[in-house]
Amino acid sequence: MDLIPLEHILLLSATLFSIGILAVITKRHAVVVLMGIELIFNAANLNLVAFSRYDPTLLQGQLFSLFVIVVAAAEAAVALAIVLRVYQYFKTANLNEVVTAENK
């Protein structure tokens, strides 16, 4: 069985992480920011599984990755509920408009 080289997996993970950071920093729509955070979590999971794959005696990376997936699912549910409440109150999901409306 041929394994994908670790460098390729790490490059993919770094790309996912960079796209996630770019989305969090540059975008102002709350749902897009949440998607960026999910990309960051998935990049971390990919690293955990990749390093666990290259040391088959240890399963900590895979188990920790499952824990991160559960936490990310809970975070997504809570964050989307907060976004819905903010939208109901401010009538916008744009984070800049929410901040400026809050300061008035």
pLDDT tens column, 53-96: 877 777 788 888 899 899 999 999 999 999 999 899 888 888 88
Q: How far apart are CA 51 and CA 62, in angstroms?
A: 9
pTM for this model (two decimals)? 0.83
DSSP 65-103: HHHHHHHHHHHHHHHHHHHHHHHHHHS--BHHHHHHHHH
Q: How far apart are CA 19 and CA 23, in angstroms?
A: 6
Region 22-27: mean pLDDT is 94
Which contiguous run of DSSP H or E holds residue 17?
helix 6-26
Look up the CATH number of domain 6-103.
1.10.287.3510
